[in-house]
Amino acid sequence: MACFLASVFFLVLQSYAAPPELLQAAVTLHTLDLEAGTSANVSGDLPPPGTSKRAPHSIIIGVRKGGTRALLEMLDIHPEVAVAATEVHFFDWDENYAKGFEWYRDLMPYSYPRQITVEKTPGYFTSPLAPERIRAMNSSIKLLLILRDPAERVVSDYTQVYFNRLESHKPVQAIENLLVRNGALNTRYKAIHRSLYDVHMRNWLRHFPLEQIHIVDGDTLIHDPLPELQKVERFLNLPPRIVSSNFYFNQTKGFYCIRSDGRERCLHESKGRPHPAVNSTVLQKLRSYLREHNHSFYRLVKRTFDWQ
């Protein structure tokens, strides 16, 4: 009790420096935490004044290993963008979806009225349920889809799983053993299915017009990020705030890193891992299989990409 009274006395002494409503909220939070027998950082539990949690205005829907994390962190440079810190996976599992849109909103970051909130979950693009459920939440939401060469995406997908299994001390297989079965391409391999962009895009276009889906070229974003981000700014109706000085090329890592608010940061060390060398015959089988799907995708989105 003495500890509680001392804490309140300290808060009262700060009343001339803090608005009354914030002071009352701090006292209430501190009281609740003491009653629960926990210790809380009161200032950390309070939202910034004038902010609120809202459902996202835009979602980066995928694709896995296409550059979703890079896109999200680069958008975070913009002062009028608030990004979700973690992937939500809201629409992929019934138990999460059943909790309702309010639960989804509560997972979003605090944002100011002029800010737009952005969430990214790369599994949305290949989810059969996500398009319909996202449309039910907000039929006018703006969707960002970042793609890269689908064959390279397959190899990158394998690389991520390979290193994850190594770190978990699980057995690993050579990529050729997964790509080929009985002399033929193993089209049931999940990594290949994720790269059938036309198949997944058709599902999204059943629920959203093409004008609501902006496609980011993930290969270009890696080598020259600014033009792609300027296109995203225009799509989201944001004022142009991202500039060339926000990026610098890291010779050690081999890709662009971010410079913002006086800080420099690169993507997590798990990004940009070297890909394994793939048998050229096997890689050619993969590219041949994907070629028709790529052309089908080009027709759907009325745009072509420099994919082999």
Does the annotation place 289 within a ligand binding site?
no
Of 55-59, 94-98, 256-260, the range with the lowest mean pLDDT is 94-98
Residue type, 202: R
Q: Is the pLDDT of residue 24 over 80?
A: no
| pLDDT band per the 50, 70, 90 thresholds, residue 9 | very low
Does the annotation place 140 within a ligand binding site?
no
The model's pLDDT over 177-234, given as tens digits with 9 standing for 90+, comes to 999 999 999 999 999 999 999 999 999 999 999 999 999 999 999 999 999 999 999 9
The model's pLDDT over 101-127, given as tens digits with 9 standing for 90+, comes to 888 898 899 999 989 999 999 999 999
Does the annotation place 53 within a ligand binding site?
no
Pick the CATH number of 53-154+209-270 from 3.40.50.300, 3.40.30.10, 3.30.70.1350, 1.10.630.10: 3.40.50.300
Q: How far apart are CA 288 and CA 256, in angstroms?
A: 31
Q: Is the pLDDT of residue 269 over 70?
A: no
Can you tell me whether residue 80 is helix, strand or coil? coil
Closest of 40, 80, 72, 92 to residue 267, by C-alpha: 72
Higher-confidence residue of 268 and 141: namely 141
| pLDDT band per the 50, 70, 90 thresholds, residue 45 | low
Q: Is the pLDDT of residue 289 over 70?
A: yes
The pTM assigned to this predicted structure is 0.82
Q: Is the pLDDT of residue 27 over 60?
A: no
How much of the chain, in percent, has pLDDT values that exceed 70? Answer: 83
Confidence at residue 94, expressed as pLDDT on a 0 to 100 scale: 83
How much of the chain, in percent, has pLDDT values that exceed 90? Answer: 68
Respond yes or no on whether the N-terminal peptide bond of residue 63 is cis (omega within 30° of 0).
yes
Residue type, 71: L
Q: How distant is the alpha carbon of residue 26 from its chain centre?
A: 33
| pLDDT band per the 50, 70, 90 thresholds, residue 5 | very low
65 is catalytic: yes
Residue 226 CB: number of other CB atoms within 10 A? Answer: 16
Does the annotation place 68 within a ligand binding site?
yes
Query: What is the overall mean pLDDT for the chain?
Result: 85
Higher-confidence residue of 18 and 51: namely 51
Does the annotation place 259 within a ligand binding site?
no
Active-site residue (options: 65, 170, 253, 285): 65
Q: DSSP secondary structure string, 19-59?
A: -HHHHHHHHHHHHHHHHTT----HHHHSPPTT-EE---SEE
Can you tell me whether residue 24 is helix, strand or coil? helix
